[in-house]
Amino acid sequence: MEIKGIRLCGERPGKPFVYRLENAILERMTDAGFEAHSSRPTSTSIRIQNVRLNVMHVEKHGYNIHLGGYGNRRGCCLGWKDWVRVNNLVNDVLDEWGVWAHAFSLHGWFQIRDGMKAYTEADWERWKYHNVGSMMHPVLSVEQWQSEEHPRCIKHPRYNGEKPQRRKPPCPQCQHVYALMQEQAPERKLAKEMGADIEVRTIKQSDMSSECWMVQFQGTAACERCEYKGTADCGGKDILKTGENANGKRVPLGEAGKV
């Protein structure tokens, strides 16, 4: 979080004022259940880093749970609602002190203040459903970290004694790829035991498009055993015509190798 260009009544305040303002922000954050490290890069700026839930918040409300596809781990990282609270309390302190400044957090994702104008959650709505995960495992900003008191966390198998189930691909195309991988798994294992070479491909995620993955992985040979071949659900029609995916990459993608 950066608070830059601090002015008071149109003039540059002295270092003692900026120091007291910094302490006031940190004290307000501590009272709200957060902790952070701060510094003053210049005489008119404040940098606040490593904002996390503090011990007081954890003892009262519990940790935050990562609800994405990466293990549903616990931690003190801030969720969407926590960042909104932090941004609002920074604006509250700056308003009380009558400070003119430019402020933002999360590397500019949240623009907190522009001069005397204080931004609110409505101004950050476009980032609420932003994908902070990957194409394979999308995670929305609003769902990335949730309190243990959140209904989704309370019902999660990891916290009610049940064994979590393996996450299945959400769309029919992913399910088709997953089914083929499961079908071919015994063949790959047998081939490896017999000493046969197995072809592998190293593919950059940026080269892939949203079209049929099997055609992008294996080329047009994948169509021979595909149940969607020649149907309206086929996801690789354009690739079959041009030999390239939507990103202009020739299929099969990547470099082939042997293991």
Peptide bond into 157 cis (omega under 30): no
Which tokens is 177 given?
């790829």
Number of domains in the chain: 2
Span 210-238, average pLDDT: 82
pLDDT tens readout for residues 100-138: 999 999 888 889 999 999 999 888 888 777 777 766 667
Measured CA to CA, the distance from residue 31 to residue 54 in angstroms comes to 10
Span 4-17, average pLDDT: 91
Measured CA to CA, the distance from residue 176 to residue 114 in angstroms comes to 49
Count of residues for the chain? Answer: 259
Last residue of a domain, one of 159, 185, 202: 159
Residues 10 and 114 in one domain: yes
Span 31-47, average pLDDT: 92
Last residue of a domain, one of 159, 188, 207: 159
* Number of Cβ within a 10 Å radius of residue 50: 9
User: How many CA atoms are closer than 13 Å to the CA of 200, on its beta-carbon side?
Assistant: 8
Q: What's the pTM value of the predicted model, to 2 decimals? A: 0.57
Residues 12 and 93 in one domain: yes
Last residue of a domain, one of 159, 185, 211: 159
Residues 133 and 224 in one domain: no
Q: Is the pLDDT score of 94 beyond 90?
A: yes
Q: Residue 238's pLDDT is what?
A: 86
pLDDT tens readout for residues 134-148: 666 677 777 777 777
Measured CA to CA, the distance from residue 144 to residue 225 in angstroms comes to 38
Supply the DSSP symbol for 235: S
pLDDT tens readout for residues 128-187: 777 777 666 677 777 777 777 666 555 554 444 444 444 444 455 555 555 655 665 565
Measured CA to CA, the distance from residue 103 to residue 47 in angstroms comes to 10
Does residue 60 lie within any of the structural domains?
Answer: yes
Residues 178 and 87 in one domain: no
Instruction: Map 48-77 to HEC letters.
Output: EEEEEECHHHHHHHCCEEECCCCCCCEECC
What mean pLDDT value characterizes the chain?
Answer: 79
Residues 140 and 13 in one domain: yes
Instruction: With H, G, I as helix, E, B as strand and everything else as coil, classify residue 136.
Output: coil
Domain that residue 149 falls in: 2-159
Residues 154 and 180 in one domain: no
Residue (of 49, 60, 55) closest to 26 by Cα position = 49
Residues 139 and 228 in one domain: no
